[in-house]
Amino acid sequence: MMKLPMLKSSVMKSSLMSLALISLLGLSVTTGAKAADPLTFGEKQTIRIMAGQTIGFAMQAILGINQLAIISNRSAICTSLVGGIGGAFLAYNPAIGSVTYESVVKDQDSLAAVKRMKNHPAIYLAFGGEKTKEENLELLRKVLSDMATLGYNGKIIFHVTTWSQKQVHDIIKTDATIATYLAKADMTALTLDLPNSQVALNRVTLSNGELKLHEFGRVGLRQDLVALFKRG
């Protein structure tokens, strides 16, 4: 059996269940390729599916969410991520778990998506994939603007790529309305710690124009997934 880093008991449970589901689904990754080899499109999708499964379990095991809404851009990569998140989320507790998903391409898609999800306790925002940062930035800006307009008051969760590209940081610099809204929002961001083969979950606060992370949990990553991340 693969050795995992020592984590809190709840996080360890999440990691072990994630590994069990991945094994059950028959997913495998080839790690023998040279580090210089570019990722194939299939490997890019595999990363998102496997990472998504870890995230999906974390949503229930660590955050305690039973109903999850997800909004992403409409790309093959982000769709693979959402599939991994949704599958693992529902598998954690099939009796009570539910997932609602919307993908957005243009501004008009955003309002309909947010209206549908307004009463969900948590919305996971995933903007990355094949899109450029600029494209993702404008889609996220519109989604957050609509969330502010409709008064969404549930948990807002930012995906690893969305956070690492500093999309939220850029938006609050130029949009005072969104900045005011997020300063009062319940926010969580996921960050990647490849040296330790983990994903960290962080509470996010916004004060005086500065975003700060407050870590509260971690989930272990498979070594073959880490190897793919390092090649990507």
The number of C-alpha atoms within 13 Å of 41 and in the hemisphere containing its C-beta is 4
Task: From 120, 89, 125, 98, select the one nearest 110 (Cα to Cα).
Answer: 125
**What CATH number labels 9-231?**
3.40.50.2300
Q: What is the C-alpha to C-alpha distance for residues 116 and 155, in angstroms, rounded to an integer?
A: 15
Predicted confidence at residue 36, as pLDDT, reads: 55
Q: Where are the domains of the chain?
A: 9-231
The list of the chain residues with pLDDT below 50 reads 1-35
- The model's pLDDT over 178-215, given as tens digits with 9 standing for 90+, comes to 999 999 999 999 999 999 999 999 999 999 999 999 99
Predicted confidence at residue 38, as pLDDT, reads: 87
Q: What is the C-alpha to C-alpha distance for residues 101 and 83, in angstroms, rounded to an integer?
A: 10
Predicted confidence at residue 26, as pLDDT, reads: 37
